[in-house]
Amino acid sequence: MKGTKLISVDSLLLACLALGFLHSCPSVFAETDEAGAEADSETPQEKLLVIMLDGFRWDYYDLHKKHLNAFQHFISEGVHVEWVEPIFPPVSYPSWTTVSTGVFPETHGVIGNYMFDLNISDPTQAVFDIFTHETTSKIEWWQNSEPIWTTATRYGKKTFLRFWSRCDVPFNEVKPFECTPYREARGTENIRQTFNIAVQKLKQDFDLVMVYGEHIDNIGHKYGPNSNELKQALIDVNNMLNELLDQLIDSQMDEKVNIVILSDHGMTWTGMGSGVQYISLDSQIDKSEVYRSVDRGSFMAIAPFAKHLDSVYQRLLKVEGVDVYKREEIPDEYHYKNARLAQDILVVAKEKYFIRGLLTSKQIPRDKESNYVWEGNHGYPNMPDMRGVFFAKGPAFKKGIIHKPIHLEDVYQIFARILDIPAGPHNGSWSRVSHMLVNRAVPSVHSAFTSTLALAFIACRLAILFLLEDNSS
């Protein structure tokens, strides 16, 4: 009798030790990807300022750091991520939408700066064109995934956006508190003004301020990533960032505001002397077989007439410098092909190639000249030059951290966490970003689980005490 009881005490003891180990080892669970932002009453109310600097390539900082003291300040006082892996295609609207929703383009549906919906019979309604703002304002483009500003607004946060994507288009009938949507706002003065307004809003009772500046991207396209003009653009933005930081100190907000600076994608040199070949597909395919061709440069989506799909495809396979895919052949890791608006054929330029738009009214958009050269371009897959930046500082972030690379789809959950609102279903990975944040109560998925473990552990120990007592009597 005594023997059997002792064995059960031993095995119970082992079970208890195992539970105790799990319970005191939160890292096992803290790393799970399910752990997004969950309401947590102990989190202090903090503000979040997100500054998106279009086309800020990951290594611009290293190349010019002695001129970029505002960014140095972020590194000593906060977090510098080595680089941000872009999504495909690494161009503005798809990337902006991944930043705000945390999902890949095939899920949020905004797969290009230009898109064409074959199911809309009126061609003027079927086009999405980044520079024709009436076309991007259509509600239907934007209803797949909820942007962070909508979630924040629904949770009672006061939200402000300036030049940020189509923040003016309601999601599920909810609009942010205040928003100016994307429009061309070129030059440095626009950035200074935007930064000033951001500070004003933070001084008021806004919780989430998201602002956008395109200067660095504009200069990168026009003069190239290696130009003096680009270096000057970085210095100008750096100086304006210093003004913003000073204003936050003056208003005693520098310790209270979390600031994230990120870019949507990088930039590669495609200008004279770069060795990039500009190729035209006009003579390679029979344009009468094509219904629409969408975008150009690093990739082109082609909608052939159905009966000519194979003919167009076979001809394109012979073209040098491009990868050609039927929709179902597009690599899974692009997270692109399952989008409703993906066309039947995707042509992707290899490194050192640039695809010119077709010279036909079927081309979206139509370039004014036929032999132009862009000094800089982006949109290429698997190219280090497409990587972006992430700098952050504030009460939510650790100080003085050089952080391993993260992915563009990861940043959404950081925003949700700081704002203390639940993250929607997303494609980010918590384990890639959790280490940059100061230690707080772990998300509730985890807490619920560990509390269960804790209870089990206590019950276990009580049972042992009981058995031991029983034994000794």
Ligand X SMILES: *[C@@H]1O[C@H](CO)[C@@H](O)[C@H](O)[C@H]1NC(C)=O
| Interacting residues with ligand X between 3 and 42 (CB under 6 A) | none
Closest CB to ligand X among residues 146, 217: 146
Residue nearest to ligand X (CB): 425
Query: Least distance from C-beta 80 to ligand X, angstroms?
Result: 27
Give the binding range for ligand X (CB under 6 A) out of 99-107, 207-215, 263-271, 286-294. 99-107
Name the residue among 99, 85, 293 with its Cα closest to residue 182: 99
Closest CB to ligand X among residues 5, 340: 340
Give the binding range for ligand X (CB under 6 A) out of 193-201, 249-257, 390-398, 422-430. 422-430
The residues, ordered by sequence, that sit 6+ positions from 358 with a Cβ below 8 Å of its Cβ are 280, 281, 282, 287, 290, 293, 296
Give the binding range for ligand X (CB under 6 A) out of 3-11, 102-110, 186-194, 310-318. 102-110
Q: Is 154 exposed, middle or buried (0-12, 13-18, 19+ CB in 10 A)?
A: middle
Query: Least distance from C-beta 281 to ligand X, angstroms?
Result: 22
Cβ count near 94 (within 10 Å):
29
340 binds ligand X (CB under 6 A): yes
Alpha carbons 389 and 85: distance in angstroms, whole number:
9
**Quick one: DSSP state of residue 153?**
H
Query: Least distance from C-beta 118 to ligand X, angstroms?
Result: 5
Number of residues near ligand X (by CB under 6 A):
10
356 binds ligand X (CB under 6 A): no
CB 198 within 8 A of CB 209: yes
**In whole angstroms, what separates CA 100 from the centre of its chain?**
7
Query: Least distance from C-beta 424 to ligand X, angstroms?
Result: 8
107 binds ligand X (CB under 6 A): yes
Query: Least distance from C-beta 146 to ligand X, angstroms?
Result: 11
Query: Least distance from C-beta 291 to ligand X, angstroms?
Result: 12
Contact pick of 19, 49, 81, 103 for ligand X (by CB under 6 A): 103
CB 39 within 8 A of CB 444: yes
Query: Least distance from C-beta 309 to ligand X, angstroms?
Result: 14
Closest CB to ligand X among residues 354, 430: 430
Closest CB to ligand X among residues 340, 404: 340
Query: Least distance from C-beta 102 to ligand X, angstroms?
Result: 8
Closest CB to ligand X among residues 287, 327: 327
Give the binding range for ligand X (CB under 6 A) out of 150-158, 202-210, 240-248, 423-431. 423-431
Beta strand spans in 169-274 (E) = 178-180, 208-213, 257-262, 268-269
425 binds ligand X (CB under 6 A): yes
Contact pick of 274, 363, 427, 450 for ligand X (by CB under 6 A): 427
CB 13 within 8 A of CB 462: no
Alpha carbons 411 and 86: distance in angstroms, whole number:
11
Structure tokens at 470: 């029983």
CB 236 within 8 A of CB 343: no
Alpha carbons 187 and 118: distance in angstroms, whole number:
37
Give the binding range for ligand X (CB under 6 A) out of 156-164, 291-299, 380-388, 424-432. 424-432
Residues in the chain: 473
211 to 40, 162, 357, 391: CA distances (angstroms) = 27, 5, 32, 15
The residues, ordered by sequence, that sit 6+ positions from 110 with a Cβ below 8 Å of its Cβ are 93, 94, 97, 128, 141, 142
119 binds ligand X (CB under 6 A): yes
Query: Least distance from C-beta 36 to ligand X, angstroms?
Result: 11
120 binds ligand X (CB under 6 A): no
115 binds ligand X (CB under 6 A): no
Q: What residue ranges bind ligand X (CB under 6 A)?
A: 103-104, 107, 118-119, 335, 340, 425-427
